[in-house]
Amino acid sequence: MIDKPTARLKRKLILAKGAIAFEGLWTALYPALMVAGLALLLVLIGVPALLPVSLKTAAAVLFGVAFVAALWPLRRLRWPDDAAALRRIEIRSGLKNRPATAWQDKLAEPQADPASRAIWMVHKRRMAEYLKSLKAGWPHSGLPARDPIALRSALVLGLIVAGFLNWGQWDRRLSEAVSAPVKASVAAGFDAWITPPAYTGKPPILLSGAVAEARLARTRQLHVPQGSLLVVRLNGAAQPVLTMAEPGAAGASDEDAAQTARSQDIPKSRDSAVHEVRTKLNETVTVSLADRGDTLARWRITVIPDAAPSAEVAGELALTPTGGFAVPWKASDDYGIAGLEAHFRLAGDDTGQLFADALKYDPPQSAISLQKLNPREADGRAFMDFTAHPWAGTKVELQLEVRDQAGQKGFSAPVRLTLPARNFSKLLARAVVEQRRQLVLRPDDRQVVVRTLAALMAWPDELFTKSAHYLGLRMAASRLYRA
């Protein structure tokens, strides 16, 4: 029967051997665990998914070789013997004189004298008391000596963070790491819409999506204002082509209809894999979108022409007491008037002859104010005063010019009138103004004007009240004579 101290010592020896074996195994597995942990960290953060197949395979082989090489220290592992276990127990217990080893000692002479046997028994009882406090101790890691900068801690922290961020996606990450990417043939996706000009106030028209397709199935045809912008944007396309076919004339052959179609390759946007094209719609067309010969969509688009604006003089012109005149007017446009002006040009004399040699003065013109911004219809009265213009008192033609927001212009029918001039009460002033008008309209007949001015200066006492007026008129006549 085994006594209690011996049984206790055997239990401590088993624990000590297990602790020593675990410490050796942990130390030997450390390099392999670091390699495996690094590989797992790269998988969790998605690095393999970014690599081509060749690099992914090379990395897998490299990590495999490194893992096998890191397992090499395992070949030196052995199960600890009793001596190593006893040394661990005595060191961890902190006992002096090695009581565990001493307990296993035997009396040199089993048939010794009674005194020697008594001393031996006292020694055994003392050692048995020491055995009650034996400790095998918990396994102690030797990694701090092999990893003084604690790379293992950084790796564990990285694995914890990557695992938390990829919670629920570990299977997908592992699948990406061990599987090769499969290039599936995916149909190109596209977005298309038409943006009418801003001045029309029309909303954009979507051409892609379930709602747009349902609407197009009902209407079969789209109506958009002239100048609308068609935008097509494709993702995942290989060779997208946009074809715009104009409607052929009645009875036209298929060959003639094909000649009216215009095709263009849709280029990629700069710094992007997206194909995009923008084109203005100024005529009715059938638009087809295709990629690699497959038709993705077809739209029949009817363009609503933007009519030119119109304007008219809506009544008789009325003179004002100050020498000006009022012009009643009306104007309209399908999307809104941008501006309205009144322009004048010389109309000719009573015989219908135009004043082709008239002095080149800027013709009078006047901007007409609108009561509100960009009205579709407007009317009013414009008041003008050109009594100071050299054309005052001559026959002119008035024409209204109206502009819409697309830059188109419309003109009213011309109206002939005598441009109102200032009324002078003094005879000399009337005569000078009349000669100025003749000089402006017929500069080649300036000698007639000179003789008329000389006749005015023949009796200065009757016409001139100030000598300055006489001298000024005389100087003007002299310069005109020498011109």
The whole-number average pLDDT for the span 80-109 is 63
* Single residue among 147, 178, 209 that ends a domain in this structure: 178
Residue, of 182 and 176, whose pLDDT is higher: 176
- Is it the case that residue 412 has pLDDT exceeding 80? yes
Task: Convert 67-79 to b/e letters by CB count within 10 Å (16 or more is b).
Answer: beebeebeeeeee
Residues 206 and 166 occupy one common structural domain: no
Q: How many other CB atoms are there within 10 angstroms of residue 361's CB atom?
A: 11
Residue 331's pLDDT is: 95
CATH assignment of the domain containing 365: 2.60.40.10
- Is it the case that residue 260 has pLDDT exceeding 50? yes
- Is it the case that residue 343 has pLDDT exceeding 80? yes
The whole-number average pLDDT for the span 186-190 is 68
- Is it the case that residue 383 has pLDDT exceeding 90? yes
d(CA 194, CA 285): 13
Residue ranges making up the domain that contains 236: 189-304
- Is it the case that residue 205 has pLDDT exceeding 70? yes
Residues 6+ apart with CB under 8 A from 384: 324, 325, 326, 327, 342, 364, 366
- Is it the case that residue 136 has pLDDT exceeding 70? no
Residues 6+ apart with CB under 8 A from 70: 31, 32, 34, 35
CATH assignment of the domain containing 247: 2.70.50
On whether the CB atoms of residues 243 and 297 are closer than 8 A, the answer is no
Token digits of residue 334: 């399908």
pLDDT band at 96 (very low <50, low <70, confident <90, very high): low
Residues 79 and 28 occupy one common structural domain: yes
**Residue 209, domain member (yes or no):** yes
Helix and strand element counts for the chain (H, E): 15, 18
Residues 125 and 16 occupy one common structural domain: yes
pLDDT band at 148 (very low <50, low <70, confident <90, very high): confident
Residues 211 and 87 occupy one common structural domain: no
Q: In this prediction, what percent of the chain has a pLDDT beyond 70? A: 75
Rg (CA), the chain: 55
Instruction: Give me the phi and psi of 229, to 5 degrees please.
Output: -105, 120
Residues 335 and 378 occupy one common structural domain: yes
Residues 246 and 328 occupy one common structural domain: no
Which amino acid appears at position 387 of this protein? T
- Is it the case that residue 76 has pLDDT exceeding 50? yes
Cα 213 from chain centre:
26
Residues 86 and 71 occupy one common structural domain: yes
**Residue 217, domain member (yes or no):** yes
Render 376-432 in DSSP notation, one character per residue: SEEEEEEEE--TTSTTTTSEEEEEEEEEETTS-EEEPPPEEEEPP-----SHHHHHH
The whole-number average pLDDT for the span 313-339 is 91
The whole-number average pLDDT for the span 49-74 is 81
* Single residue among 136, 157, 178 that ends a domain in this structure: 178
d(CA 108, CA 210): 102
**Residue 31, domain member (yes or no):** yes
Render 28-54 in DSSP notation, one character per residue: HHHHHHHHHHHHHHHHHTTHHHHS-HH
**Residue 138, domain member (yes or no):** yes
Choose among 245, 378, 221, 213: nearest CA to 304. Answer: 221
Q: Which of 64-78, 165-179, 406-420 has the highest mean pLDDT?
A: 406-420
**Residue 270, domain member (yes or no):** yes
| Range scoring the smallest mean pLDDT among 124-128, 195-199, 323-327 | 124-128
Residue 255's pLDDT is: 47
**Residue 184, domain member (yes or no):** no
Residues 25 and 49 occupy one common structural domain: yes
Q: How far is CA 445 from CA 361, 395, 428, 429, 449, in A?
A: 18, 19, 21, 20, 7
Choose among 317, 310, 309, 311: nearest CA to 415. Answer: 317
Choose among 321, 320, 341, 338: nearest CA to 329. Answer: 341
The whole-number average pLDDT for the span 146-158 is 80
Residue 193's pLDDT is: 93
d(CA 129, CA 121): 13
Cα 136 from chain centre:
70
On whether the CB atoms of residues 89 and 135 are closer than 8 A, the answer is yes
Q: Which of 230-244, 330-344, 387-401 has the highest mean pLDDT?
A: 330-344
| Range scoring the smallest mean pLDDT among 39-48, 170-179, 260-269, 464-473 | 170-179
- Is it the case that residue 183 has pLDDT exceeding 70? no
For residue 110, give the 3-state DSSP assignment: coil
The whole-number average pLDDT for the span 78-86 is 73
Which amino acid appears at position 24 of this protein? G
On whether the CB atoms of residues 410 and 402 are closer than 8 A, the answer is yes
* Single residue among 394, 418, 442 that ends a domain in this structure: 418
**Residue 183, domain member (yes or no):** no
Residue, of 222 and 51, whose pLDDT is higher: 222
Residue 40's pLDDT is: 82
d(CA 133, CA 382): 120
The whole-number average pLDDT for the span 446-462 is 74
87-91 long-range contacts (CB < 8 A, ≥24 apart) are: 88/16, 88/19, 88/20, 88/136, 88/137, 89/12, 89/13, 89/16, 89/134, 89/135, 89/136, 89/137
Residues 6+ apart with CB under 8 A from 351: none
Residue 393's pLDDT is: 81
Residue 8's pLDDT is: 65
Q: In this prediction, what percent of the chain has a pLDDT beyond 90? A: 21
pLDDT band at 180 (very low <50, low <70, confident <90, very high): low
The whole-number average pLDDT for the span 412-423 is 87
Kindly provide the residue ranges of all beta strands, DSSP E only, lying in 90-200, ordered along the sequence.
189-195
- Is it the case that residue 359 has pLDDT exceeding 50? yes
On whether the CB atoms of residues 313 and 327 are closer than 8 A, the answer is yes
The whole-number average pLDDT for the span 31-56 is 80
The whole-number average pLDDT for the span 9-17 is 70
Give tens-digit pLDDT for 278-287: 999 999 999 9
Number of structural domains, the chain? 4
Q: How many CA atoms lie within 13 A of 164 on its CB side?
A: 5
Residue 102's pLDDT is: 56
d(CA 416, CA 396): 6
- Is it the case that residue 182 has pLDDT exceeding 70? no
Residues 173 and 248 occupy one common structural domain: no
d(CA 318, CA 329): 12
The whole-number average pLDDT for the span 422-428 is 74
Helix axes 4-44, 53-70, angle to 10 degrees: 160
Between the two ends of the chain, the Cα-to-Cα distance in Å is 155
Residue 382's pLDDT is: 92
**Residue 15, domain member (yes or no):** yes
Residues 45 and 104 occupy one common structural domain: yes
The whole-number average pLDDT for the span 414-443 is 78
Residues 294 and 315 occupy one common structural domain: no
The whole-number average pLDDT for the span 264-274 is 78
d(CA 336, CA 180): 61
Residues 233 and 333 occupy one common structural domain: no
Residue 122's pLDDT is: 62
